[in-house]
Amino acid sequence: MTRELRARLDALRSSERFEHFPAVLAFQSIADATVSTSALIRGLFERLPAGPSELVLYDINRVSKIESLLHSDPRSRIEAMLRHQAPSFSVRFFTNEDETSPRLAMTHWRAETGELTTTAIDREWPTGLYSLSHVALAFPIDDPLYGRDADTRGQDDPIHLSTLALRGERNILRIPASDMLRLRWNPFHEDLVERLIEFTSAH
């Protein structure tokens, strides 16, 4: 499907209709094990008309000292791709304001000019989280199934996938052990919704 999408975009680029292609807004965790950030940039965003589209990226929680446990750090590779030349699309990159603070800062690359600004954000990583996942992006903290702070009043023996902390032997549960680690709610969901509304109103 992704190959077909790239082929159609490439074919459209040579037609007069290409300049009318709608603006694209995407949200992505750079730690995503399913959706490759590099492929999203190379396979989609670099094929779009210059200017109106925007990619919002979420870094790893750097204050968690997770670097020593990483197979590789995806940030340097992503930043190198974006700094290689002035991007044809805008990028907002959320990361820790420094390595000692869970608070966030946003670096904004503006389309075509390459102008770069960094702004402190009134948000911070909750304790115990080292990254987002693509599963988490769409769900707020109070989602009834995935949210950390779901309201369980009136529910009989509720199951909340984000708060399960089961311990025992592997290969016993139907849920794979690796899935138990995956974050399923977005601590920055309010900002995501605000940016989505702002973007769609502008386009």
**Confidence grade of residue 85 (pLDDT, cut at 50, 70, 90):** low
pLDDT at 6 over 90: no
pLDDT for position 186: 95
Element (H, E) at 7: helix 2-13
More confident residue, 86 or 115: 115
pLDDT at 71 over 70: yes
Q: Give mean pLDDT, residues 20-43.
A: 89
pLDDT at 139 over 90: yes
Closest CA to 38 of 18, 51, 57: 57
Question: How far, in Å, CA of 143 to CA of 160, rounded?
Answer: 9
**Confidence grade of residue 159 (pLDDT, cut at 50, 70, 90):** low
Cα 96 to chain centroid distance, Å, stands at 14
Question: How far, in Å, CA of 8 to CA of 43, rounded?
Answer: 11
Give yes or no for a contact between 81 and 38, defined as CB atoms under 8 angstroms apart: yes
pLDDT at 125 over 90: yes
Question: How far, in Å, CA of 142 to CA of 52, rounded?
Answer: 32
Written as one letter, the residue type at 124 is E
| Lowest mean pLDDT across 28-32, 70-74, 90-94 | 70-74
For the beta carbon of residue 83, count every other beta carbon within 10 angstroms. Answer: 12
pLDDT at 157 over 60: no
Please list, in sequence order, all residues whose beta carbon lies within 8 angstroms of the beta carbon of residue 92, skipping any fewer than 6 positions away: 54, 55, 56, 57, 106, 107, 108, 109, 195
Question: How far, in Å, CA of 92 to CA of 104, rounded?
Answer: 12
Please tell me the pTM assigned to this model. 0.85
| Lowest mean pLDDT across 14-28, 67-81, 123-137 | 67-81
54-65 pLDDT tens trace: 999 999 998 877
Q: Which two tokens stand for residue 42?
A: 């190379």
